[in-house]
Amino acid sequence: MRYCYGVDLGGTAVKIGFFDGQGRLLARWEIPTRREDGGRSIPADIAGAVLADMARRGLEKGGCLGLGVGIPGQVWPDGTADAENLGWERFPIVSGLADRTGLRVAADNDANAAAMGEYRSGGGRGCRSVLFVTLGTGVGGGMIIDGRSLRGAHEAGGELGHIQVEPGETRLCACGNRGCLEQYASASGCVRLAREALEATEEPSVLRSMGELDARAVWDAARAGDGPALRAADRYCMYLARGLAAAANTVDPEVIVIGGGVSGAGQLLADMTAEHYRRLAFTPCKATPIVIARLGNDAGIYGCAAMALGQFS
Amino acid sequence: MRYCYGVDLGGTAVKIGFFDGQGRLLARWEIPTRREDGGRSIPADIAGAVLADMARRGLEKGGCLGLGVGIPGQVWPDGTADAENLGWERFPIVSGLADRTGLRVAADNDANAAAMGEYRSGGGRGCRSVLFVTLGTGVGGGMIIDGRSLRGAHEAGGELGHIQVEPGETRLCACGNRGCLEQYASASGCVRLAREALEATEEPSVLRSMGELDARAVWDAARAGDGPALRAADRYCMYLARGLAAAANTVDPEVIVIGGGVSGAGQLLADMTAEHYRRLAFTPCKATPIVIARLGNDAGIYGCAAMALGQFS
């Protein structure tokens, strides 16, 4: 039996999973992400954690197929990565981990890794292709076809967050464009849509008495039948569906999986999005299922393990 | 030396190309498409033309790697095709040609085949991935990555014509949705945009004296600096750029190639589209080149030959 590690590098914590050769999760833990020094200690920290775990298990290098790592940024074909959040610019993450662990290392963008996790072991299991969108602080995504991540010519494959879904928008997105999906379907976009729904009416709403709104409160209220919250949720899903329909008309996936923090909203989010999607998608793609991600925060480590297994076994 | 045939099946004519093993076109000719009888004579007509050509050249079956065919409709994994235009529903085109010719047969949608042609031998030559859009009676497209056509789960990969680019549209597209790219970027969409530009102003225009407008006249006038024609062309390119940017944010191609009848408009079309595209695309994709297809009406036969060479050599 051979094993592998899946490492999901986030802005505050590094999630590490230990997997068997069939991609089953055997153990998981976290270490803090040290961002001081432009994130230069990160490879040593990850390598230290992995080597200590191997020693504890009495696992030799030969018993380990490799390590997959997901990066919150762009991973280039030469094994370097850009990650603004970590202070990385063309940072040699693949060699940094390979040299310190003696393991083979596969790397990809974190959203692509999560897409791979959902493809292999989550909402897309058993499908040949998966379009994955992640709804959180930002909106990202990934497309997996026949077990391969569609990385793109500039490592921007599956970047659904910057599809224009509102040509009439005047506010700027963080990317500099206007009307990007991320402006509506991120957690803060959701809160803004809720504020606009509250301002448009005098109708009572549980959201009015809350000091700080968040996306979870909006969806909880929508689920409880709160009028303004439901209208905000409906607009949220309309914008999301516009982005998903444009992407699906391009790549025609077998299933669409919604992940990220906001996907905690659950079935109501999937159902309302599907309703708008059916109206917007091209005929052959109208019936494509839209499902909520199953692996939650573990999608990344599952996907990173799957990358390692796919490339090294 | 081994050879192959590329067969581009259209609604009025079947284009046939004879290629060498490096994908070079050695000869091309056409036969009429017989649509009577629900298009049932088509396989025999194609097989007859190919077998006659082989006999004329003294080419044995062993000297022929195979035949690729592009269909104006959907080609399913079982080798059957739907093509409304020909009266085909789950029509056994692959076995129909293979049985009659004794050759191995590869089939794909005609826009995917043209995309493959431009990828191998045209505007995308030397690139690892190509997003192709075809602007004609309808708007279709195809995406090629690493030599493979992204066919999709429902054979709808690259169907850019039905990306919604105008959420405010009230008129229906032929597909039943509203605001599809095809409603603006098809030849008839171009004419409609020109009529709207003429109605919006009293400004003189060479287009006013024409009885029947067509897309070519609109672009000729735009190139000559005609005000209303230029404004129509600009709106045309804005809508096209919206569709291309949404697709590029999903698949991040190395190059975008514009083909089909309207692409005869040439460099002005590419330049005006690129200007809008730069504003709409996500940062890493902004510099993606937008070029006019190079193979014109031969893209299909080139791509069909490339499919056969890719699958059978």
Residues B147 and B73 in one domain: no
For helices A187-199 and A215-223, what crossing angle results, to 10°? Answer: 60
Contact B284 A155 (CB under 8 A): yes
Contact A284 B245 (CB under 8 A): no
Contact A153 B247 (CB under 8 A): no
The DSSP annotation for A110-131 comes to HHHHHHHHHHHHSTTTT-SEEE
Interface of A with B (CB under 8 A): 74, 127-129, 143, 145, 150-160, 162-164, 166-167, 175-177, 180, 242-243, 245-247, 249-254, 279-285, 288
Chain A positions touching B152 (Cβ under 8 A) are 129, 251-253, 284-285
Residues A161-196 pLDDT 10s: 999 999 999 999 999 999 999 999 999 999 999 999
Chain-wide mean pLDDT for chain A?
96
Residues A138 and A54 in one domain: no
Is the CA virtual torsion B255, B126, B260, A279 positive or negative?
negative
Q: Which domain holds residue B188?
A: 125-294
Residues A79 and A191 in one domain: no
Torsion angle in degrees (nearest 10) through CA of B224, B230, B236, B237: 80
CATH number at residue A149: 3.30.420.40
Chain B positions touching A156 (Cβ under 8 A) are 249, 252, 282, 284-285
Residue written as token pair 């799957």: A306
Q: How confident is the model at residue A21 (pLDDT cuts 50, 70, 90)?
A: very high
Digitized pLDDT (tens) for each residue of chain B, 313 residues in all: 799 999 999 988 999 999 999 999 999 999 999 998 899 999 999 999 999 999 999 999 999 999 999 999 999 999 999 998 899 999 999 999 999 999 999 999 999 999 999 999 999 999 999 999 999 989 999 999 999 999 999 999 999 999 999 999 999 999 999 999 999 999 999 999 999 999 999 999 999 999 899 999 999 999 999 999 999 999 999 999 999 999 999 999 999 999 999 999 999 999 999 999 999 999 999 999 999 999 998 999 999 999 999 999 8
Residues A302 and A288 in one domain: no
Contact B166 A167 (CB under 8 A): yes
Residues B56 and B168 in one domain: no
Residues A107-153 pLDDT 10s: 999 999 999 999 999 999 999 999 999 999 899 999 999 999 999 99
Residues A200 and A66 in one domain: no
Is the pLDDT score of A84 beyond 90?
A: no
User: CB contacts < 8 Å between A and B, how many?
Assistant: 144
How far apart CA A183 and CA B87 sit, in angstroms, is 45
Residues B202 and B306 in one domain: no
pLDDT of residue A11: 87
Distance from A253 to chain B by nearest Cα, in Å?
A: 6
Q: Confirm whether A121 is domain-assigned.
A: no
How far apart CA A74 and CA A129 sit, in angstroms, is 22
Q: Confirm whether A257 is domain-assigned.
A: yes
pLDDT of residue B85: 85
The complex's ipTM works out to 0.93
Which of B119, B149, B250, B286 is the best residue to mutate to test the A interface, defined by the most A CB atoms within 10 Å of its own CB?
Answer: B250
- Nearest to A236, CA basis, from A199, A203, A169, A191: A191
Residues B93 and B130 in one domain: no
- The partner residues of A106 in beta bridges, in order of sequence, read A68
Element spanning A142, H or E:
strand A139-145
Residues A26-70 pLDDT 10s: 999 999 999 988 999 999 999 999 999 999 999 999 999 999 999
How far apart CA B310 and CA B22 sit, in angstroms, is 11
Residues A22 and A163 in one domain: no
pLDDT of residue A59: 96
Total domains in chain B come to: 2
Q: How confident is the model at residue A23 (pLDDT cuts 50, 70, 90)?
A: very high
Chain B positions touching A235 (Cβ under 8 A) are none
Residues A36 and A51 in one domain: yes
Residues B213-232 pLDDT 10s: 999 999 999 999 999 999 99
From the list A150, A252, A284, the residue facing B145 with the nearest CB is A150
pLDDT of residue B33: 95
Residues B189 and B176 in one domain: yes
Q: Confirm whether A94 is domain-assigned.
A: yes
pLDDT of residue A211: 85
Residues A21 and A98 in one domain: yes
B251, burial (CB in 10 Å: exposed 0-12, middle 13-18, buried 19+):
buried
Q: Confirm whether A122 is domain-assigned.
A: no
Chain A positions touching B285 (Cβ under 8 A) are 152, 154, 156
Residues in chain A, overall count: 313
Beta-carbon contacts of residue A181 (< 8 Å; ≥ 6 apart): A139, A160, A161, A162, A163, A164, A165, A239, A240, A242, A243
How far apart CA A198 and CA A231 sit, in angstroms, is 9
pLDDT of residue B1: 75
Q: Confirm whether A308 is domain-assigned.
A: yes
Q: How confident is the model at residue A313 (pLDDT cuts 50, 70, 90)?
A: confident
Beta-carbon contacts of residue B301 (< 8 Å; ≥ 6 apart): B6, B7, B8, B15, B16, B17, B19, B25, B28, B117
